[in-house]
Amino acid sequence: MSIFKAAIIGGGNIADTNHIPALKQLAEQVELVAVCSRDLSKARTLADKHGIAHAFADTATLYRECAPDIVVICTPNYLHHPQTMEALAHNCHVFCEKPPALTAQDAREMAKLATEKGRVLAYNFQLRQTSEWELLMRCKADGLLGDIYHIKAHFLRRRGIPGWGYFTNKAMQGGGALMDLGVHVLDLALCALDYPTPDQVLGNTYDFIGKAGGKGLMGDWNPATFEVDDAATAYLSFPNKASIMLSASFALNTQQDKDRNLELFGSKGGVKLFPFSLHTELAGELADVQFPYLEEVDIQLKNTAAFLDACHGKPSTVCTAEQGAILQEIVERIYQSNR
Amino acid sequence: MSIFKAAIIGGGNIADTNHIPALKQLAEQVELVAVCSRDLSKARTLADKHGIAHAFADTATLYRECAPDIVVICTPNYLHHPQTMEALAHNCHVFCEKPPALTAQDAREMAKLATEKGRVLAYNFQLRQTSEWELLMRCKADGLLGDIYHIKAHFLRRRGIPGWGYFTNKAMQGGGALMDLGVHVLDLALCALDYPTPDQVLGNTYDFIGKAGGKGLMGDWNPATFEVDDAATAYLSFPNKASIMLSASFALNTQQDKDRNLELFGSKGGVKLFPFSLHTELAGELADVQFPYLEEVDIQLKNTAAFLDACHGKPSTVCTAEQGAILQEIVERIYQSNR
Amino acid sequence: MSIFKAAIIGGGNIADTNHIPALKQLAEQVELVAVCSRDLSKARTLADKHGIAHAFADTATLYRECAPDIVVICTPNYLHHPQTMEALAHNCHVFCEKPPALTAQDAREMAKLATEKGRVLAYNFQLRQTSEWELLMRCKADGLLGDIYHIKAHFLRRRGIPGWGYFTNKAMQGGGALMDLGVHVLDLALCALDYPTPDQVLGNTYDFIGKAGGKGLMGDWNPATFEVDDAATAYLSFPNKASIMLSASFALNTQQDKDRNLELFGSKGGVKLFPFSLHTELAGELADVQFPYLEEVDIQLKNTAAFLDACHGKPSTVCTAEQGAILQEIVERIYQSNR
Amino acid sequence: MSIFKAAIIGGGNIADTNHIPALKQLAEQVELVAVCSRDLSKARTLADKHGIAHAFADTATLYRECAPDIVVICTPNYLHHPQTMEALAHNCHVFCEKPPALTAQDAREMAKLATEKGRVLAYNFQLRQTSEWELLMRCKADGLLGDIYHIKAHFLRRRGIPGWGYFTNKAMQGGGALMDLGVHVLDLALCALDYPTPDQVLGNTYDFIGKAGGKGLMGDWNPATFEVDDAATAYLSFPNKASIMLSASFALNTQQDKDRNLELFGSKGGVKLFPFSLHTELAGELADVQFPYLEEVDIQLKNTAAFLDACHGKPSTVCTAEQGAILQEIVERIYQSNR
Amino acid sequence: MSIFKAAIIGGGNIADTNHIPALKQLAEQVELVAVCSRDLSKARTLADKHGIAHAFADTATLYRECAPDIVVICTPNYLHHPQTMEALAHNCHVFCEKPPALTAQDAREMAKLATEKGRVLAYNFQLRQTSEWELLMRCKADGLLGDIYHIKAHFLRRRGIPGWGYFTNKAMQGGGALMDLGVHVLDLALCALDYPTPDQVLGNTYDFIGKAGGKGLMGDWNPATFEVDDAATAYLSFPNKASIMLSASFALNTQQDKDRNLELFGSKGGVKLFPFSLHTELAGELADVQFPYLEEVDIQLKNTAAFLDACHGKPSTVCTAEQGAILQEIVERIYQSNR
Amino acid sequence: MSIFKAAIIGGGNIADTNHIPALKQLAEQVELVAVCSRDLSKARTLADKHGIAHAFADTATLYRECAPDIVVICTPNYLHHPQTMEALAHNCHVFCEKPPALTAQDAREMAKLATEKGRVLAYNFQLRQTSEWELLMRCKADGLLGDIYHIKAHFLRRRGIPGWGYFTNKAMQGGGALMDLGVHVLDLALCALDYPTPDQVLGNTYDFIGKAGGKGLMGDWNPATFEVDDAATAYLSFPNKASIMLSASFALNTQQDKDRNLELFGSKGGVKLFPFSLHTELAGELADVQFPYLEEVDIQLKNTAAFLDACHGKPSTVCTAEQGAILQEIVERIYQSNR
């Protein structure tokens, strides 16, 4: 098996702490040859820190000098589309950070080009790799849940408006809590239903707290420049009558600091994901099942490995380009709902 | 203050354990003169047990012989409309069990006739009288919550399909979990928003468990004759962008036996209703407020007293005929959604 | 179905609070016609309290005047054998309190006569009727446990030497904690293994605290006349290599006031009985299963009904004469062990 | 006080993390001069890591070149006997890992030779050095327990079959859970009774889970080559009628991952060891005593120091050669029981 | 043993629910012959309810017609002194409710007259009879505490201003929280020190909440007529340098609704009274001792029995006239402190 | 803003771990130029470890060679007075460890000279900088507490007699638990009342455990040389009738190892400090408020910064020279009380 040559685009935290360490642990399959950031000093610092040969300030130079097989895109959301299109144009497999893009149209274009080029385009929804989600999928496959017909999914922070980066800038990020947090649990919920497209979507977004200001638990933010949703709620209804209730928040007057969970209700059993519990009937009685020894795993490492499986043409659990386009369209329909 | 003469229509459990005891405790305002049930022996038994003078098998005789000022309707849902119309026609104030009717059209007719007759028509949503709800309304009035923009409301049972009465009969009850349980928390959620009409409603209903059968925690039920929703979920969106997420179930594969609660999110504070906790900022810090000494109150007694307040022309917290019509229309739109 | 005529022998607490109420609830199958106690006033009091027609001071009169179909024996242990033999001789079905007898030889004789007479002889080990034990037997039948190969069974009290009756009198009771408490959990453990006879038995009995005296939690006892075991421990080994560890105490320096439980270890799953939890593998992970909605049942009522099932020739879960003889032999071998 | 010269035989984990660090902390009494392992590279690595002068591949060279005063044996069980005999023959004090040997006969020979040579032979049962066991021995000495007459001792793992080394190899280890885990708690139980020899032993061993395979919590194991007991249970009865119930498992369908404890029942008080609680009478009332400030200690350091005390001829709490022989005989009798 | 004739003076709740039931349970020693209340209808009602022969409206008639041996005084505080003096003048033993009197001078006169008359005068501090206090006194006697040198005693309510009776009337009750609640725990603290007289007393009383009004948990009160202390705190210093910190409140902004406890610190051990825990050294380690099986007892029955013991000349644990005078003087010094 | 030159006097732990690290983090305002200790090697070691230029053995040389602007005094208590006087004489600002001095007279002299010299003298009571205390002062300022009228303050250790340094030497430390621990919570309590001088003080000190010896949880101590209070209790009464109950201990037979807390009772609200909870009325109900997200802060860093604020003439929360003198006088009055 030959080894892929990979390059990282984007010099921020997600590259430093997630993607680079994962790729380095998978050195038998992939060699990380370059980091590219418009701020060359950032690229250089990362490259030095992790022992990567090259650092570039522009992607043109990157493609010319390194000709990577794989590109990992870790830049702000508004760059996902142009950089992915460029990478595919250079016949690279692309592993792109979530969310896929700013618009559904962009995400569909990205998927189309990947298909045309015969290259893998995948998105980094790494919660799919948690032990809990793997167990959920095994329970589903074993028939322990029956038909799943309703899912409650939420990713809520009480006062977790990120006080750094571009998280409150609408033009660069495309949205707030829904775009940054909601997509993670939405991706899982869609997986549980085999990634259908909803026939109806209804939702609302809010910015009361973001625009009013207050105590921050993830740094301070500037209410004067707050442009995105601090909370979003939505209901998705599918052709088979299954439904999803979704909520996400950067800021909400709720008790817990952080609360991320899914509840999945099936005809034979229901599951609460974190911590994993299964609620069903066993031996003629209502039974609650706990799995006390689920392993904590390195979900980024596993998701990067899943992406590489896809590049090798193997079965993979990574989020595909087509799934990413479906998800992005749902996000867009939520933002456009109830205008 | 003269004393009202009241009659009970319906000889079931809700008359016996809720309405009759409440009316008897309010003897300074109301005299309970008759019980009417198509099963005369039931009416007679109740009358004897509670020391009520008359028992009737038909309402015509009741109106002719007793001429009540007040009628309390405790019959199956499909009788709410005709019996209320008849009572109003006899110039009675009417205290009707929930839900208001089988259809929105019926509920609107009932409200219209009450207005024309200048009589009070009210529905028995007694959760409004809990100490928790009273405190919620006081917090709202004191501005502790700011603008309420999202509410999660649920009334879920794991395996609580009622194994008696007509609860699984669609023609007589009009529906299942949503009609029987969901309306209680929907009424509260609407109160918190000052009872607006939603501009959009999206929902789904299910009957997987009800039709499959299984272990029952409120008696056994017959899956072969199960006709109603065992679970319902919905999203309501209002003109001011506020939203409500609603779920109700007789049967759902969830952990808790019974779980009834509301979470209300406002711009200044949020509340979880049972047990009551307020989440806000105080003295510049995020604060959680508990109220450990809320009284347990007799909510039926208080709601019946509130109905009598309305009959006396005083301010009242009871559910009005107009509110009942709004609520019934929402229920109908949920049942018709996603068909 | 004709109705059995039943008589109670013994006028103590177990007759008053267990057997008589159970028989009266089963009035469709059995009529309780007499109470017999050597202390006639006790018999008379019980008969009056429970509306039973006859009270006798000797069994001869009982059999002559009433000719019962069923006799329930609620006397001290040393009378179980002679009274059962007499009842069988009168062609009665016999429901005898535990333990079966003072010796294995007696228990075997009782079983032999029952067989010869074609009558039911059963012992009142009512823990078999708990919801937990029923569920255990269902789990076993469904193969959830695989082969059960080791059982820990204990019935321990910290300072529960009964301060009344004959519990510390060796001649009348035959033993102490093992005879009174240990037999209950031993019976269950044997059931789980399909009631085999052990090939080896090793045990010890103690009386340190009983003879020293001290604080009592079930009344005071007299250390000077304490003749029985205050604690007993034993190990049973069976031909198929399965094993049982048994302990019972009236008095032991342990933390809990009362601690009665069984742990059953099988090749596929293990169970702790109170509260019921199942420990196994599910979907490839170690799983702990709780059954939070097991019903509390009237175990005496169910065990009496099981005895009547046996009298009717139906399948029954009641402890048979043969099982009682096996159990009594084990108890005897424990008492004789390590002498 | 002159300083002992010590050598380590065996290059595995127990040498690296237990014995070598302990000996180095006791540098005032002992100098660690050599490590010997059949795999010389292992010996060399350990020696370099810990700054030890010599590394050898065979013991003959070790004795010839270093002439140690003390030998610490950290090899697989089947080597304990030959290597101890050799060390004693070279007039060394020997500190041998547990269990003493593969057979009782071997352990007796080892003890006999130590006596003849006038050298210390001791076994590394380091749980004797826990604060809890020290406190138990002080409570016993102060008379707080009276006569100890029954002990429950267990060392259970749910799925802890070691997935490395030789733990499932019968020829090299002599047994499984009993040999590896059971001996620890058996040693403590025997200490509490002053190390008597039981007059009767009855037990059973099992291998259902080990041979069937399944989820492992201490690495994976190969069921096809699993030769030892995955669980063992036994009952020991002593001449003074005291008794011990023992259980040990690598794999058992129980709730806890790891559960190691002793309960000791005496005529005046009882103790549960982890966490330490004393159950007794005080001031005329039943009392439970907690000791919330017991120190966590380095039990290997303390046990090595105790061994050195013995070498210096001082009183010591280390497990003696004679105790080791008694223990090994009991283990053998359990394995031979119920064959 | 002849039987005492007893009379109750005072027709309130304490007579009805405490003293009369206790006296009736002690019918072998005492016959309750009369109830006396200025409100004759109250006296009559009580007498009828409890089957007492006589009811009187004035004490003169009572003494003339009944000539009681024992008088139990259950009237408001300001009547304790005159009614006790009158009863002693009639050669009665007197069992008087707490506090002894309004002033120290009154309490001393009462004690003096009892001595002169050779009659028992005792006060009803019934917390002395709790199992916890009995155990404390046994621990003290057994030397488990050594010298007790500091005691924290408190009896605090958060919003427990009694909304009935005369509790907020200074002239009739003499004070508030200190007089009604503080005296109970002060009596216990003094007992633990063998009832010494303090050489120094320093304290303060408050009425912020009582005079401001607010939410009540024991009924509503009228802030306009609130005349007493809603909280009191004090420090007592004794000749042997022991000290007591005392606090009592009807109303205080603290967390718990009701909090009544003592902590006693001795040179060998310390005790927290509710629930009872002993903190000391045992076997060379710091030990915490719990007594999980203390009985709940009828403390009024036991205190009344103790009073009768005193009347019979037996040793008694009841609060004596002299102790009452010491306590009353301390209360007076606290009220006069820091004026 | 020019930078202060600072010198540390005292080479112990408090200098090493508290003051030097704090000063170095504030390098923009202050340069740490010297360490002075009578043990020159200690001074040299500290200077080297922290990169400080000079080390001196006597203060005369320090002042001559370095001419510091600020002196931080970290020596045993008996040196606080002479070294502060000397530093002020050299026109230095002084940051002195607590307690201020051995006597009230000394503390007053120190304050007087500071005033005369126009220099800042402050004491290091760093608990003022906890998030909890800051929140308390904000709640007080916002009127949430109303008038504070009673404070319970304690700083208790069960067996925490420091086993090192001079803590049990009366001449060098001036006292024990009160001088070392009590002053911390006394300072806070006085702050809450705006630092008034009490009109009455009553207290006692004890040394039972210190002189008897026993188990130590902060090292061993020598009972033979134990000269100070192991426990102290006091009551302070202020002109406005407010009061403080104070207790402090190195050793006390209580349950918790360490227990440091204040409860403050005001007319509108009460606070328990650790963890912070506010008890008040809100929306007409009794409310308990928690603040779950208070930050842990570096209290020494904040207190040193507050001292520097004072040196810059800015508002500061540091303990002033005048406050120190008031506190020292109270400590002295407690020690002299009840002699």
Give CA–CA dist B311/B321, Å, rounded: 13
Give CA–CA dist D268/E267, Å, rounded: 27
pLDDT tens, position by position, C163-222: 888 899 999 999 999 999 999 999 999 999 999 999 999 999 999 999 999 999 999 999
Touching, C vs F (3+ Cβ pairs under 8 A): no
**What pLDDT shows up at residue F2?**
77
What mean pLDDT do residues E252-271 have? Answer: 98
Residues of chain C neighbouring B215 (CB-CB closer than 8 A):
293
What mean pLDDT do residues A6-26 have? Answer: 97
How many Å is the Cα radius of gyration of chain B? 20
Query: What is the DSSP track for B206-255?
Result: E-HHHHH----SSS---GGG--S-SEEEEEEE-TTS-EEEEEEESB-S-S
pLDDT tens, position by position, A47-80: 999 999 999 999 999 999 999 999 999 999 999 9
What mean pLDDT do residues D246-265 have? Answer: 98
Amino acid at F202: L
pLDDT tens, position by position, C232-258: 999 999 999 999 999 999 999 999 999
Amino acid at C46: L
Show which residues on chain B lie within 8 Å of chain C, measured between beta carbons.
Answer: 159, 215, 217, 257
Residue E177 has pLDDT above 80, yes or no: yes
E189 or C339, higher pLDDT? E189
Q: How confident is the model at residue E203 (pLDDT cuts 50, 70, 90)?
A: very high
**What pLDDT shows up at residue D48?**
97
- Whether D253 and C237 lie within 8 Å, measured CB to CB: no
- Whether B291 and F284 lie within 8 Å, measured CB to CB: no
Q: How confident is the model at residue F163 (pLDDT cuts 50, 70, 90)?
A: confident
Q: How confident is the model at residue B164 (pLDDT cuts 50, 70, 90)?
A: confident
Helix or strand run (H / E) with residue E46? helix E40-50
Task: Identify the bridge partners of residue F260 per DSSP, sorted by sequence position.
Answer: F155
**What pLDDT shows up at residue B180?**
97
Residues of chain C neighbouring E292 (CB-CB closer than 8 A):
257
**What pLDDT shows up at residue B1?**
55
CATH 3.30.360.10 domain locations along chain C? 130-337
Starting at the edge strand found earlier in the chain, the sheet holding B70-73 runs B54-56, B30-36, B4-9, B70-73, B93-96, B121-123, B319-320
Q: Answer left, alpha or beta for residue E154, where phi above 0 means left and psi between -120 and 50 means alpha.
A: beta
**What pLDDT shows up at residue D164?**
84
Q: How confident is the model at residue B142 (pLDDT cuts 50, 70, 90)?
A: very high
CATH 3.40.50.720 domain locations along chain E? 4-126
pLDDT tens, position by position, B213-245: 999 999 999 999 999 999 999 999 999 999 999
- Whether B233 and A245 lie within 8 Å, measured CB to CB: yes
Residue E2 has pLDDT above 80, yes or no: no
Q: List the structure tokens of D121.
A: 């032979």
pLDDT tens, position by position, A193-207: 999 999 999 999 999
Residue A184 has pLDDT above 70, yes or no: yes
Residues of chain F neighbouring A257 (CB-CB closer than 8 A):
292-293
> What ipTM does this complex have?
0.96
**What pLDDT shows up at residue A1?**
55
**What pLDDT shows up at residue A2?**
77
Residue of D289, D293, D294, D297 to mutate, interface with E, max E Cβ within 10 Å: D289
Q: List the structure tokens of D59.
A: 């013991």
Give CA–CA dist D66/D61, Å, rounded: 8
**What pLDDT shows up at residue E1?**
55
Give how far F41 is from chain D: nearest CA, Å: 28
Which residues contact residue E324 at a Cβ distance below 8 angstroms, ignoring those fewer than 6 apart? Answer: E96, E100, E107, E110, E111, E121, E122, E123
Give CA–CA dist D23/D20, Å, rounded: 5
Residue E35 φ then ψ, to 5°: -120, 135
State percent of chain A over pLDDT 90: 98
pLDDT tens, position by position, F91-137: 999 999 999 999 999 999 999 999 999 999 999 999 999 999 999 99
Q: Does domain B4-126 have CATH number 3.30.70.100?
A: no
Give CA–CA dist D244/D187, Å, rounded: 11
Residue A174 has pLDDT above 60, yes or no: yes
Size of interface A-F (CB pairs under 8 A): 5
F257 → chain D, closest CA residue: D293
Residue C2 has pLDDT above 80, yes or no: no
Give CA–CA dist B173/B80, Å, rounded: 10
Residues of chain A neighbouring F292 (CB-CB closer than 8 A):
257
What mean pLDDT do residues F255-281 have? Answer: 98
Q: Is the peptide bond before C100 cis (omega within 30 degrees of 0)?
A: no
Show which residues on chain C lie within 8 Å of chain E, measured between beta carbons.
Answer: 159, 215, 217, 257
Position of tokens 């020991």? Answer: D236
**What pLDDT shows up at residue B2?**
77
Residue D2 has pLDDT above 90, yes or no: no
pLDDT tens, position by position, E50-62: 999 999 999 999 9
Q: How confident is the model at residue E81 (pLDDT cuts 50, 70, 90)?
A: very high
CB atoms within 10 A of CB C1: 6
Alpha carbons within 13 angstroms on the beta-carbon side of residue E43 total 22
Q: How confident is the model at residue F1 (pLDDT cuts 50, 70, 90)?
A: low
What mean pLDDT do residues F242-247 have? Answer: 98
Record the pTM: 0.95
pLDDT tens, position by position, A312-331: 999 999 999 999 999 999 99
Residues of chain B neighbouring E217 (CB-CB closer than 8 A):
293
Touching, A vs E (3+ Cβ pairs under 8 A): no
Question: What is the average pLDDT value for chain E, to the nearest integer?
Answer: 97
Give how far D245 is from chain E: nearest CA, Å: 27
Give how far B157 is from chain C: nearest CA, Å: 13
Question: Which of the following CATH numbers is that of domain F130-337: 3.30.360.10, 3.10.129.10, 3.90.1150.10, 1.10.10.10?
Answer: 3.30.360.10
Size of interface D-E (CB pairs under 8 A): 52
- Residue ranges of alpha helices (H) inside chain C are 13-14, 20-25, 40-50, 59-66, 80-89, 104-117, 131-141, 170-173, 177, 183-192, 208-212, 299-311, 321-336
What mean pLDDT do residues A300-319 have? Answer: 98
